[in-house]
A and B are shown apart, each in its own frame.
Chain A
């Protein structure tokens, strides 16, 4: 955690730090610290890690406290506007990026694949990470509002978590989407069925080990399709 914050400060001293229009990171910290403190008070040990970047706050909580974290977010922090709920599959795709064309890597060639899971902001433990964001919008118009992105690691076997519908009614469809795309079960969701895909669809398309069949069947055209620039042909 400390590491990420240090990197963040170093970054904003870089090319971007000179501009005052970008949200200054430092003055927002107390607000974020207060928010994290409030969450910790409510959830105790379940608050695992936090990170702030450009006025946004990321908090990773334990998945068993997911619903309680939602209530805390809404009631204690005043983040009453539900933004979205989704998930990230941190498994590196076994198929690479399916960018087979040489021209996409003109100098170095495709990098060596490392199949270890590397997590992003606030780290992580398992493959599937739940992601949801809510913001405070009405109390402080003009102030930018407090926006918190919650994350939770889900167990690799049978990922399941309590539903957020009692917290934010709008989570209904988002959870259906996450269930369909990632195979995350939401305990207490009354209506967990396909939202986009046909009812008999099998598999969870947004998981990294679900192949993008279009690319499997027919590789990305790459160089074959590229025509020479006209200037190269007609020098006159």
Chain B
């Protein structure tokens, strides 16, 4: 019920702003197209904002500029071919995209993954989180006008990408996860190198904490900007750090690990009560640091054994339905896979995190200033491929 009340209030506020624009000030409202080619939308998102001066009266995201129809395409592909497609959904943390789909297929096939494969899968999962969120941590600075952090982010993210590349052979689109395990084992010396990289990433987090998060202007720009209360966040289906920044203590990695090994590690779910842009940044920064600890623990406890279970060469998935979601870098990503015993899925519903995360934008962007539009969008952190699929 609170939702409707809030919506009503927002509607009344919008109508009142309309009235002000048209009657009291006797000025004309302006419609501003932020995007589709705008530096702040890192991709081709378009925000149609109706402005009263610099204040947003109503904002409506328009997407589809990058819609690739993966749900339809997946219907004419075999299971191993689908991972190639879904790699491109969240292109900054590609490996993490493959994981829930493969897990869903494994659930339907009743395949048991060898422990080593599950552990390495989780390591790569967390590495792609690092590669993804490191860029957010720097990019948020750029959106707020501080150029320097993003260069640090690119510099240190490179180390993570190198590690991913060393294992999978691909920096951006690994396509490494297989039904029943992984394509290959870790290369020699990789574990030690990764330890060094984790130390560098923690150093990067400290650096950004000093450089950006401790900055008064940064706080002034983000605190209290774009507040999303928990009930709104829940009803819009926000997930990941966006939800945890609204004070909801929920992380799929802890609460529903489904096949990954996060439940065997010692780590903490970070939440922040404020729900504003600062909280979202703060939570992501803590999560990045937490992820480095997780990777180190997994490197310590990596079990020996094969990395591939016995699966047939031609993969036919028995009929059934499965929904598997994991806590991807951007939030909860799930695949609802319907199989009819064919070589490929009958229907795949891709539940991507950014689609839900950005759907709150019309609600949260009402009445803010144009610069705050950028701040809020940056702090919600979307990847266009993850919205449009």
List residues of chain A with CB within 8 A of the CB of B77.
99
- The distance from the CB of B129 to the nearest CB of chain A, in whole angstroms, is 20
A144-B322 Cα distance, complex, nearest whole Å: 17
Given A82-B235, A106-B314, A206 and B71 contact (CB-CB distance below 8 Å): yes
Binary per-residue interface labels of chain A (171-215) against chain B in the complex, 1 for a CB within 8 Å, 0 otherwise: 011000000010000000000001111100000011000101001
Given contacts A106-B314, A169-B235, A170-B236, contact A93 B75 (CB under 8 A): yes
Chain B interface mostly = mixed
Query: Would B255 and A205 count as touching, CB distance under 8 A?
Result: no
How many angstroms from the CA of A108 to the CA of B352 in the assembled complex? 36
B72 near A82 with CB under 8 A, answer no
Binds A, one of B29-37, B191-199, B298-306, B355-363: B355-363
CB of A109 within 8 Å of the partner chain: no
Asked if A169 contacts B7 (CB within 8 A), the reply is yes
Stretch at the interface among A38-46, A60-68, A83-91, A155-163: A83-91
Q: Do residues B235 and A196 form an inter-chain contact, with CB atoms below 8 A?
A: no
Q: Is the CB of B359 within 8 A of A173?
A: yes
Among A16, A198, A205, contact of B69 (Cβ-Cβ < 8 Å): A205
A195 — which chain B residues lie within 8 A by C-beta? 63-64
- How distant is the Cα of A70 from the Cα of B269 in the complex, in angstroms? 29
Interface SS of chain A: loop
Q: Check B334–A166 contact: CB distance below 8 A.
A: no
Q: Chain A residues near B75: list those with CB within 8 A.
A: 93, 97, 212
Interface string of B231-260 (1 = CB under 8 A from A): 110111111000100001110001110000
Give chain A residues whose Cβ lies under 8 Å from the Cβ of B231.
Answer: 80
Interface size class of A (residues with CB under 8 A): 35 or more
Query: For A53, what are the chain B residues with a Cβ–Cβ distance below 8 Å?
Result: 322
Query: Is A76 on the interface with B (CB-CB < 8 A)?
Result: no
Q: Is the CB of A80 within 8 A of B234?
A: yes
Q: Is the CB of B356 within 8 A of A170?
A: yes
| Residue B54 lies at the interface, judged by CB distance under 8 Å to chain A | no
What 1/0 mask marks residues of chain B from 5 to 46 whose CB sits below 8 Å from any chain A CB? Answer: 001000000000000000000000000000000000000000
A138→B250 contact, CB < 8 A: yes
A121 to B230 Cα, complex, angstroms: 33
Known: A120-B338, A168-B237. Contact between A83 and B3, CB under 8 A? no
B76 within 8 A of A: yes
B107–A169 CB distance below 8 A: no
Give chain A residues whose Cβ lies under 8 Å from the Cβ of B338.
88, 120
List, in ascending order, chain B residues with CB within 8 A of A31's CB.
none
Does B347 interact with chain A (Cβ within 8 Å)? yes
Please report the C-alpha to C-alpha distance between residue A9 and residue B199 in the assembled complex, in whole angstroms. 46
* Contact partners of A133 in chain B: CB under 8 A: 323, 336, 351
Say yes or no: is B51 at the interface (Cβ < 8 Å to chain A).
no
Query: Given A138-B230, A138-B248, are A144 and B67 neighbors across the interface (CB < 8 Å)?
Result: no
**In the assembly, what is the distance between CA of A84 and CA of B335, in Å?**
10
Chosen A-B contacts, 12 in total, with CB atoms closer than 8 Å, are: A82-B237, A83-B334, A93-B75, A104-B343, A106-B314, A131-B349, A137-B250, A169-B235, A170-B356, A173-B359, A196-B67, A210-B72
List 10 tightest A-B contacts by C-beta distance, closest first.
A170-B236, A196-B64, A82-B237, A196-B67, A137-B250, A170-B237, A84-B351, A98-B76, A141-B249, A86-B349
11 extra A-B contacts, CB within 8 A, seeds A58-B321, A141-B254, A145-B250: A11-B110, A55-B256, A81-B243, A81-B250, A133-B336, A169-B235, A169-B236, A170-B359, A173-B355, A173-B359, A196-B67
